[in-house]
Amino acid sequence: MTAIGFHASHEQIHPRELLEAVIHAESVGFDAAMCSDHFAPWSERQGHSGFAWSWLGSALQATGLSFGVVNAPGQRYHPAIIAQAIGTLGAMYPGRFWAALGSGEAANEHITGDAWPRKDVRNARLRECVEIIRALLAGEEVSHDGLVRVDRAKLWSRPEQPPALVGAAVSVATARWCAEWADGLITVNAAPDHLRRMIDAYREAGGRGPVHLQVHLSWAPAQAEAEAIAYDQWRSNVFAPPVCWDLATPEHFDVVSAEVPMSRLAEVVNISADLGRHVGWLEEYVELGFDQIALHHVGQEQRPFLDAFGEQVLPKLRGSAG
C-alpha cells in the first residue's frame, strides 16, 4: 500500500511550528514525512529557512515516522559532512531515515561565494559526492581529488544498514540517469503521462528501490481562499529549469513571478476546496505505482489541512488502495 506522508517546508514555516505540524500529522494518520533543505526561501513572502539537519533530529525523536530530506551535496555542503549527518541519524533511528540527493539550485548554493557551475558539471559533482558518501557510510577511509576534495575522511559512528540514497529528478532523462546510482527515485507532481514515463525510464534503466512523489497542493474550505493561498505562497515556484536552478535570491524569484497568471500556477499546484477532487488526483498517483506520496500544502497554516485530509482524504485513499 502506498504510504502517505507529510512534506515539511522549511522555507515557509518557523521550525518550531513545523515540528508541531509534523507531530500533528502523525496524530491524524499520516504514515511518513519528508522535508526540504534550503538556505533561503523561494519568496520573501515565505520568510523562513530553518536548518533541516537540526530539525530532523527533533522530528525523529518527537514522532515514530520515517523521514526523508532532499539535499544537494557538493557546494554549500561538503559530502563528508553530509555522510556524517546521514550516518548519525541512521544510527540513532535505524530504518527511519533516507536522503534524496540532487544537483541543487543557485538560490541555496551561491552563499559560498563560489561560481555556480554548469548543469553537466553539477551532475558530475553530484556523482562524485554520492560515491564519497557511500564509501564513508560503508566504513571506508576516503581520499578524493576531483570536483570535490576529501583527505583521509572516515566515519566513526555509522548505522548497521546505510540509509537509502534516493535520486531527485523532474525530467525523464534525469530519472534514467538516477538509475545508475540511486536507491530510489523522487519527483514532483505533474501530468500522469509524464510521471508514468519517469517511472518507466527509471525502472527500464535498472533503477531499484521505492519511487517517491512530492505533491504540491492548496486546500481551504472556500475555492477563492485555496487560490489565494497558492498564489501568495507558491507562484514563485512555477518556473521550469534552468530558470529555477539559476536565479540567486528570493527577490529575483519575486520579481519574475510578480505577474504569473493563476492558470500557470494551477499547472504545478493541485488547487481545490473540494476534498473529493484531491482524492481523485491522489488516486491517480497511487495507481501509477508510487511507494510513497508526500503531501505539501503550500500554505503557512498547516493544521486545518492536516485535520481535513486526516479525516476525509487519507481513509478514502487507503480504502481505494485496499
DSSP conformation letters of 128-157: HHHHHHHHHHTT--EEEESSSEEEEE--SS
In contact, 39 and 45? CB cutoff 8 Å: no
- CA 90 to CA 119: how far, in whole Å? 30
Question: Is 194 known to be catalytic?
Answer: no
Segments forming the whole domain that contains residue 243: 3-320
Output the pLDDT for position 267: 94
Average pLDDT over residues 49-62: 98
Residue 105 designated active-site? yes
pTM, full prediction: 0.95
Residue 181 confidence (pLDDT) above 70:
yes
Question: For residues 244 and 237, what is the distance between their CA atoms, to the nearest angstrom?
Answer: 8
* Catalytic entry in 7, 11, 26, 38: 38
Question: Which pLDDT does position 322 carry in this prediction?
Answer: 47
**What value does the mean pLDDT of the chain take?**
97
Q: The C-alpha cell of 135 is what?
A: 564509501
d(CA 304, CA 94): 32
pLDDT of residue 318: 87
Length of the chain: 322
CATH of the domain at 306: 3.20.20.30
DSSP string, 232-265: HHHGGG-PPTTHHHH--SHHHHHHHTTT--HHHH
**What's the confidence (pLDDT) of residue 320?**
64
Stretch 169-185: mean pLDDT, rounded?
96
Work out the percent of the chain whose per-residue pLDDT is above 70: 99
Phi, psi of 301 (to 5 degrees): -95, 115
| Active-site pick, 11, 26, 105, 128 | 105
Average pLDDT over residues 56-73: 98
Structural domains counted in the chain: 1
The residue-averaged pLDDT of 48-69 equals 98
Rounded mean pLDDT of 18-23? 98
Residue 68 exposed, middle or buried by CB count within 10 Å (0-12, 13-18, 19+): buried
Kindly give the residue spans of alpha helices, DSSP state H, lying in 159-191. 172-178
What's residue 319's pLDDT? 80
pLDDT at 95 over 80: yes
pLDDT at position 321 over 90: no
